[in-house]
Amino acid sequence: MPTVEISVSKLGSLFQEEGKVSVYTRLGNTLLEIQGELEHPLEIPQGDTQGKFTKYQGENIIRFGLLTIDEGQKKATLFVGEKQRLLGTVVKMETPLGLLKFDHGSGSVELQDIIRYKIIFKDRPLPVM
């Protein structure tokens, strides 16, 4: 260590809170919380994967679901895979969360965003008929 600075040079405008509810921050980040586990394979399985696995910037990614948010930005529905449906809400967090990125190579820390809202799914999943 012993001292590492958090730089926030890019973020001047983020401190002003927007009046309206916004799930995504101005930098396009959002926070999804599920009271439970979201399991997906860590490696691409063999066989037909129905196009679920792709690559993005050289990394393997999985398409795991679909999210819809109502127009009032209050209620959210998350479809996980093709058989499960979760009902959730958009809530404002009591204390905003700062997203810090630690760069171990250069030993620097950057505050990348301030997240004020999250989409939380507290209930058990419902089946999709």
Partner 1 sequence: MPASALYSKLHTDSEYKLLQLDSTLLKALENEGKLAFKAAKESDSVVLCSKSNTWTLKQKNHSNTVLVMREFVPDEIPKIENWSSLDVREPSGFSLGFTKQSYELEPRLTTGEINYGTLPIYSGEAHKVSGASGLPSATCLSLEDLRKCSPCSDEEFAQKWPALGGCVVNGVACILSREFVSRALHITLMSCMAESLSFEDLDESQAFAAVNKDMGEAGEFNPFSKEVISTILGKFCSRSPLGKFKLQKETISQWYGIEALKKFASRVSIPQDEFMIKWKSLFPPYFSCDLDFRALRGYYYRPLGSCIQYFSKETLPDDPKERFSYLFKLQSTWDLDEIAPFIDQLNTKGIKIESFVMKYARRKRQGKRITVSAR
Residues near partner 1 (CB under 8 A): 1-9, 12, 15, 24, 27-38, 40-44, 50-51, 53-56, 59-71, 78-79, 82, 95-104, 109, 111-112, 114-115, 128
Residue closer to partner 1 (CB basis): 19 or 28? 28
Cβ 99 to partner 1 shortest distance, Å: 6
Residue closer to partner 1 (CB basis): 15 or 20? 15
Residue closer to partner 1 (CB basis): 61 or 92? 61
Cβ 115 to partner 1 shortest distance, Å: 8
Cβ 93 to partner 1 shortest distance, Å: 9
Strand partners, 56: 59
For the range 46-55, what are the long-range contacts, defined as Cβ-Cβ under 8 Å and sequence gap of 24 or more? none
CA dist 28 and 102 (Å) reads: 19
Structure tokens at 107: 């030993």
Residue closer to partner 1 (CB basis): 3 or 19? 3
Cβ 119 to partner 1 shortest distance, Å: 9
Assess contact for 77 and 34: CB atoms under 8 A: no
CA dist 122 and 3 (Å) reads: 39
CA dist 122 and 114 (Å) reads: 23
